[in-house]
Amino acid sequence: MFGLTDFYSDLITYFAIFITSVLVIRGMFALVKWGKKMPKGAFILLAFIPLITIFPIPPTVFKNVEKAKQEQRKRKEDNGDGPENDDHNPSL
């Protein structure tokens, strides 16, 4: 009897995988059919959207913050303050 329940759980798992794969394939065909109805420019734009998400543009904010920290360290060194208290400044 124990082997029969394992058979049914495996059968349910395979059935769920099959149904999911059929739905995914039908969805892909629907997207292609929908895409063929669109103008060429929109179709090309939609083709490049995944490429944009693969290579994110680094924000310039991080560069500005790093530049401000370097300038602050330089000013402290010019004033005679040592760079030992840089990390304890609550203004940044």
Domain boundaries, the chain: 2-78
pLDDT below 70 — which residues of the chain? 1-4, 52-62, 81-92
Report the pLDDT value the prediction gives residue 57, as an integer from 0 to 100.
59
pLDDT, position 50: 76
What is the model's pTM? 0.41
pLDDT of residue 34: 80
Give the contacts of 73 (CB within 8 A, at least 6 positions apart). 83, 86
